[in-house]
Amino acid sequence: MARTVPPRVTSLPAWKALESHHKEIAPRPLRELFSEDPGRAKRMRAEGAGLLLDYSKNRINDRTLELLLELAEGCRLSHHIRTMFEGQHINKTENRAVLHVALRMPKSASLVVDGVDVVKEVHEVLERMERFARKIRDQSWKGATGRSIKNIVNIGIGGSDLGPVMAYEALRFFSDRRLVFRFVSNIDGTDFAEATRDLDPEETLFIVSSKTFTTLETMTNAHTARRWLLEKLKKEESIRHHFVAVSTNAAAVSSFGIDTSNMFGFWDWVGGRYSMDSAIGLSTMIAVGPENFREMLAGFHAMDEHFRNTPFARNLPVLMGLLTVWYANFFKSQTVAVLPYDQYLKRFPAYLQQLTMESNGKHVHLDGSPVDTATGPIYWGEPGTNGQHSFYQLIHQGTHLIPIDFIGFARSKNPLGDHHDILMANLLAQGEALAFGKTADEVRADGVAELQVPHRTFEGNRPSNTILAPELTPGTLGALVALYEHSVFTSGILWGIDSFDQWGVELGKVMAVRIIGEIAGKTPQGKVHDSGTAALLDWYRENRKKD
Ligand code: F6P
């Protein structure tokens, strides 16, 4: 099959046009763009899958959008969207389909990939997950000593942890409060020790979540969990009452000692960072119940359909993906801040870091040639309003241009007095202050002493998107995650990179394994390290045994 490598984005006429257009737009303040165009806010918004995206506070005008949309056409974005949804092997370096969209297709749908109806398989697993989740929730699943399960500990890392933790926190309002959920990911023993110190093994279920079932951190934690359990329950036989697995690797699950009838599978076409709606979401389903989990899947699916069917000019993920390219490549912005004004979304920025940065942190095109533009920016953030009292100073008056995604909801799940109005007032105020700033004359008009005027002046022109929805529900969460998944896809297509592999994590893993052997004295240190690392290793070996 001929390889379809998208044309280099920088060679497209729209790219060249954007370069000169950028020179015109960059000096123009948002104040001016708004004052000369009263219809701007109404025009520069789009809705889909229950989300509203207001992108009017970006440093763009209609011409910018026109050119960005031309760029998307030039990169054959529609074609690439189609190939993903068809299950073609668009993850070239691993020769795999990329089909997280199949995880949320309705049961009535069918998608035959490599001769198999993947939707049918997805629903078979979902139904098994549901039966299991109900047994835990109605307490009919018993531990080895006949006690019901009260504690659920998910052991996993990366995509096998961040999605489950984020979703548990985001949907905590909907969770069964009789159950305790813990998440162990770090190889640091402290993570396991603190997560289990107050748990009774007789009432604890471990979900070992690992696509490969070979990840060092997860397998080490899983073996520790096994020992922790057997210390009290003694009999090997008890393992099958207290361990289930989520994996694509049945052989490894079985050799760990987990009964494969207690294994929930998924497929190589689900990337780790795209897997929170697969069986990797088992802890989420136990927490919020199968009905809420299905509602979350429906939210994902609604955004998938929006992405697939909506003209690009009104397509939320496409617009966000194009704006990411606009700032990263033309304004040379290096980061994006994601600022959810909702405490339940406190882990959402951390989740997005893997989704965005493992996907688009790439240095070569699909054909292996070096990229000729910056690729994925650094994502970071904290929930509002906490960030306001921490790092917002730099966003307002520092020297870096940091595009922002604000996320907020019309209604709170915990309406306490006027808390929610104050919260939302802050979201709106920050967007406005960042965009429009405060001129020196306005500062003077407040009677501020001349010495302080420069310090109290706000340049403004700091761009932001505002993403709003009526409430944070399972469906909204699904739509929100899919929005970012597809916006990452859009930017990745423009950059011509493989957004679905992650070779960059391999080298460190291999080197860690070698050093583990050296610490244990199993392999000679020799001259394998640079002098700096060798000295640090010597220091560690000398000091690790001392009090
Ligand atoms: O090391 C990175 C990574 O491969 C991620 O892509 C993945 O989400 C994580 O490790 C965990 O992998 P697994 O689910 O196979 O344990």
Dihedral over Cα of 152, 157, 161, 165: its sign: positive
Closest residue by CA, ligand 1 atom 9: 158
Nearest ligand 1 atom to the CA of 215 is 16
First to last CA, the chain: 62
Nearest ligand 1 atom to the CA of 159 is 8
Mutate to test the pocket of ligand 1, among 157, 183, 362, 510 (most ligand atoms within 8 A of CB): 157
Backbone angles phi, psi at 205, to 5 degrees: -115, 130
Query: What is the spatial distance between Cα 338 and Cα 404, in angstroms, rounded to a whole number?
Result: 6
For the chain, percent of residues with pLDDT exceeding 70: 98
Catalytic annotation, pick one of 389, 522, 545, 546: 389
- Dig out the tokens for 398 from the structure: 């520092």
Closest residue by CA, ligand 1 atom 16: 210
Angle between helices 506-519 and 531-543 (to 10 degrees): 50
- Dig out the tokens for 382 from the structure: 């904290």
For 152-178, what is each residue's pLDDT tens digit? 999 999 999 999 999 999 999 999 999
Asked whether the predicted pLDDT for residue 546 surpasses 90, the reply is: no
Q: Are strands 335-340 and 378-380 parallel, antiparallel or unpaired?
A: parallel
> What is the pLDDT of the chain when averaged over all its residues?
96
For 225-252, what is each residue's pLDDT tens digit? 999 999 999 999 999 999 999 999 999 9
Q: How many angstroms is it from 169 CA to the middle of ligand 1?
A: 21
For the segment 476-487, the average pLDDT, to the nearest whole number, is: 99
The DSSP line for 409-445 is ESS-SS--TTHHHHHHHHHHHHHHHHHH-B-HHHHHH
Backbone angles phi, psi at 372, to 5 degrees: -115, 15
* Ligand 1 pocket list (CB less than 6 A): 157-160, 210-212, 215, 218, 272-273, 358, 502, 505
The residue whose two tokens read 């583990």 is 516
Q: Residue 176: its pLDDT value, please?
A: 98
Q: How many angstroms is it from 502 CA to the middle of ligand 1?
A: 9
Nearest ligand 1 atom to the CA of 157 is 11
Q: How many angstroms is it from 372 CA to the middle of ligand 1?
A: 28
Partnered with residue 334 across adjacent β-strands are none
Mutate to test the pocket of ligand 1, among 276, 502, 506 (most ligand atoms within 8 A of CB): 502
For the chain, percent of residues with pLDDT exceeding 90: 96
Catalytic annotation, pick one of 358, 382, 485, 518: 358
Nearest ligand 1 atom to the CA of 272 is 8
Mutate to test the pocket of ligand 1, among 162, 212, 510 (most ligand atoms within 8 A of CB): 212
For the segment 345-359, the average pLDDT, to the nearest whole number, is: 98
Q: How many angstroms is it from 159 CA to the middle of ligand 1?
A: 6
Catalytic annotation, pick one of 107, 234, 235, 509: 509
Closest residue by CA, ligand 1 atom 6: 272
3-state secondary structure of 530: coil
What is the CA 267 to chain-centroid distance, rounded?
19
Closest residue by CA, ligand 1 atom 1: 505
**Contact of 387 with 406, CB cutoff 8 Å:** no
For 286-320, what is each residue's pLDDT tens digit? 999 999 999 999 999 999 999 999 999 999 999 99
The residue whose two tokens read 């700091």 is 462
Mutate to test the pocket of ligand 1, among 98, 211, 505 (most ligand atoms within 8 A of CB): 211
Q: Angle at the Cα of 531 (from 526 to 535), degrees rounded to 5? A: 85
Q: How confident is the model at residue 3 (pLDDT cuts 50, 70, 90)?
A: very low
Active site residue 389: yes
Q: How many angstroms is it from 158 CA to the middle of ligand 1?
A: 5
Query: What is the spatial distance between Cα 301 and Cα 298, in angstroms, rounded to a whole number?
Result: 5
Q: Residue 4: its pLDDT value, please?
A: 52
Q: Residue 2: its pLDDT value, please?
A: 45
Nearest ligand 1 atom to the CA of 156 is 16
Q: How many angstroms is it from 427 CA to the middle of ligand 1?
A: 34
Nearest ligand 1 atom to the CA of 218 is 16
Q: Residue 144: its pLDDT value, please?
A: 97
For 369-410, what is each residue's pLDDT tens digit? 999 999 999 999 999 999 999 999 999 999 999 999 999 999
Q: Which helix (H) or strand (E) holds 396?
A: helix 392-397
Mutate to test the pocket of ligand 1, among 91, 505, 510, 511 (most ligand atoms within 8 A of CB): 505
Q: Residue 1: its pLDDT value, please?
A: 42
For 71-81, what is each residue's pLDDT tens digit? 999 999 999 99
Q: Residue 526: its pLDDT value, please?
A: 63
Q: How many angstroms is it from 461 CA to the middle of ligand 1?
A: 39
Q: How many angstroms is it from 160 CA to the middle of ligand 1?
A: 7
Q: How many angstroms is it from 218 CA to the middle of ligand 1?
A: 9
For 499-526, what is each residue's pLDDT tens digit? 999 999 999 999 999 999 999 887 765 6
Active site residue 413: no
Closest residue by CA, ligand 1 atom 10: 158
